[in-house]
Structure 1
Amino acid sequence: MSHNSIVIVGAGQAGYQVAASLRQEGFEGAITLVGDEPGVPYQRPPLSKAYLLGKVGVAALRFRPPEYFDEHRITRIQGSATAIDRERRELVLASGERLAYEHLVLATGARNRVPAVAGIELGGVFGLRNLADADGLSQRLGSAKRAVVIGAGFIGLEFAAVAAARGIAVDVLELGTRPMARALSAVTSQVFDHAHARWGVRIHYGQSLAAIHGDGGQVRSVELASGEVLPADLVVYGIGVLPNAELAAQAQLTVNNGIVVDAHLLTSDPAISAIGDVVSFPSPWSPQAIRLESVQNAVDQAKAVAARLMGKPAGYAALPWFWTDQGELKLQIAGLADGHDETVVLGSVEQHQISVLCFRAGRLVAVESCNRPADHMAARKLIARNTPLSPAEAAAPGFDLKAFEVSTRETA
C-alpha cells in the first residue's frame, strides 16, 4: 500500500463509508474526513420519513458513535474545502489550513435545486437535505395547518405523506402529468397518485410555481403560474439537486453533470477519486454515463475505492437499486428503467401490492416492487445475473418472480 495519507472531502454516506471500509480493509495510514456539518456523520434517508414523524432521534441517525472515529483513528475536521492544489497534493480549507494527501477522495454530494422565485427566502420555506433542514421543519409541523410541496418527486411526496399523517392539509405542485415520473413507470405512479389522494393530499399536475407570498417575513400563500393562490404556512421544495462539483472544476478536473470518473472511480487526476451523488460514471447497466443519488450507489462506490486503494482494483459494476417509504407504501426499485418499452404487472393494483417488470427490447432491465419485498430481492439477483426472462413468460398465469429466481439459480 503506497498511500499513507488519505483525505476525504464530504462526511455523508459515501465519505463515511470509504473511511470505514479502508479500516476494514486493513489500511494503517492516516485518514482525514472533512465535512461542513457539525457532529458525526449520519444517515439522510430517515430525515424525510421516520425522523420527521418522531420515530427515531438524532442518536439513531448516526452511522457510528463519536468514539468509533477515535478508536479507528479517523480524524474529523469540520470545515469547508476551498481549493485543491494538485501539484503539491494539498487540500486547502476555508480556515487557511492545508491538508497534505497522497490520495484524495471527493465525496462532496449534491445540494437542493432552489426555485428561482420571489419569496423563496421567507420563513417557513424549506428544502429538505440535511439535519438542520429536518429540525427546522419539525419545529413547524406542530403548528402548521396548510403545506404546499413543490415537486412530486421522492422527497416531496415523502414529506407530503408525513404532513398528511400529522393532520396537515397538503397541496403538491407538479409540472409533469404524474408523480415521480422521472423514476417510475406509469402503473406505479398511478398507485402512488391514488394513495396520496386517499390520504387527503391534493396533487396539482401541469402546474408551476410563480411566487411565494408572505407577511412579516413568514410565508402565507403560494401563487401558481395559472394565477391560482393557495394558502400556506409551510412550503417544502423538492425539484431535484445539483452536484457539488465546483471544487473539482476549479482544480480543472473533468466535470460534466458531476465529476467525471472512469470505471475505477478515478478522476482525470490519478491521485484523486470521486464517489457518490457527485459523480458521473460509466455503468454496465446504462448505455451512457450516469449520475445516481442513492445510498446503495454511495456505499458500493466507497467500498470499491477502498478496495482499489488496498491493491484490489475492480471496475465498478454494482446494480443500482432505490427505495422510498410513503405512508403504508414501501417502494423498492431494482435496476434502471430508462427507455423501457414494455411492462408486465404482477400482483394487485387495488391492494397496493404490485411489481412492475420493465423490459427494454425483450430484456428485463428494472423491477418496481410496492409492498412486495420478496420480489425486490429476487429482481436484484435476476437482473444482476442477466437471467433471460421474456415478457410472455412473466405474463403467464401463476408466474411467481421469487420462485422463478430460485429455479434459475438452481439450474445455473
Structure 2
Amino acid sequence: MSEARGHGHDHGDPAAMRGVEEHAAAVAALIADTGTEVVPLAAARGRVLAADLTSPVALPPFDNSAMDGYAVRAADVATTPVTLPVAEDVPAGRVDGPPLEAGTAHRIMTGAPVPDGADAVVQVEWTDGGPPGATVSIERGVEPGQSVRRAGDDVTAGQVVLRAGTVLGAAQIGLAAAVGAPELTVHRRPRVLVLSTGSELVAPGEPLRHGQIHESNGPMLAAAVEDAGGEARLLRFVPDDVEEFRTALDAALAEPTDLLITSGGVSAGAYEVVKDAFTSRGVDFTKVAMQPGMPQGAGTYDGRVAVVTLPGNPVSSLVSFEVFVRPALRRAAGHPHPDRARVRARVAEDLRSPAGRRQFRRGRLDAVAGTVAPVGGAGSHLLAALAQADCLLVVGEDVTEVAAGSEVEVWLLES
C-alpha cells in the first residue's frame, strides 16, 4: 500500500489528533546520535566535524613572497632608480635558498620563501625584469615587510582551526588539508532503510498494466535521506502480505540500520500491510493535526530498529519527511542547524486551510519582493507541483483563511 491506496482518509476530529510538535519530538527521540568515525578528506564533504581540529603547523609555515618580483633589503632601494645584481633565483618550492647579501637582489616567485637577509619584495612590474646573473633596475622603493606574507599570519601552530560541529564544505576541507590533516573525525551518517510496499507498484521504465503505477516514493525518500546527510538503502516492491512483508524486512535488517522508513499502508483501509505488520510489535500509529500527512506512525520494531511510517501519497510522504524525519536525522548526525531555514513572506493570493490542522502548502518564494506564491492546489497527490516548489508555506492550526498580502511562515527547501 504505497502510493495508490491507503491514503484517502484525511478526516477526523483535530482535537483528538497528535500535535505536530508532539509527533516531531516522538520521532526525534527514536533516532539516537550516530557516533563518530574517521574518514579521509575526500569523503568528508558535507559531514559534521566531531572533534576540534588543531593545527600542528603555522600558516604560512615560513615568510613567503606575495608577488612575483625581487627580494631585497628595503634600505638598498630607499633611493630609486637603483640597479642591483641579481644573485639567485628563488622559485616556489625551493628549499635551499641562500641568504641575501647586502646590495643584491634575488628574483623570487609568489609563494617562494623569502631569503634570510631580505625584508621586502619589489613587484616585477616596478623593475626591468633582469634575470639571475645579470642586474635588475628598480624604479620604485618599498617599505620593510612590503609584499611579504609572514609565517603564522593566517594560522599559528597549536591553534584550533575547525571546531566540533562545523559542517565541512570546500573551504573547511581546504583548510584541513593546508594544516596537514589527511583525515577527519566526523559524525557517522545515519543508516536508513527505505521500504516501499504495494502490489500495484512497478519499476520506472517498466510498462504499466491497468491498475499499476510506477513506484516513486522509494527513490524520492532515498534521495531525501541522502540530501539530509543520511546513507539510504532502498528495499522495493514488498507485496501487500504481512508475512512476506516481515520476511523481506527481517532479511534487510541483517545489515546495520539506524532507521526504517516506510510509506503507505498506515491509514484506515482494508489492506494496510504496514500497520498490520507493526501493530503490537512496538510501533504506534496516530493521526497528526496537519495537512497533508495526517496518518503517521513511529516506534521501535521488536526492540530492534527505529521505525517511522509515512503516508502513501507522494506529497504527504515527502512533506512528512521534511517535518519529522529530516530534522531528526540531521540532529542525530550532529548537525548544528537541523531545521530548514525559515523566513516570513507575504502570500500572493487568498488561501483556505482546514480548521485545527497545520497546513503545509507548496510554494515559490520571490525573495526580492518578499512574496510567496502557492504552487498547485492542496491535494496530496500533486507531485508535479511539489517538484516545482522551492519552499513550503505554513498556515497555523488556528487559521482557516489567509488573505492575499498577509504574512506566513516559509520553509526554504533549498537551504
Q: Which has the higher relative contact order, 1 or 2, with Cα contacts under 8 A spaced 6 or more apart?
A: 2
Q: Do both share a fold (TM > 0.5)?
A: no
Q: TM-score, normalised by structure 1?
A: 0.23
Structure with bigger gyration radius: 2
Question: Of Structure 1 and Structure 2, which has the larger fraction of its residues in helix?
Answer: 1
Q: TM-score, normalised by structure 2?
A: 0.23
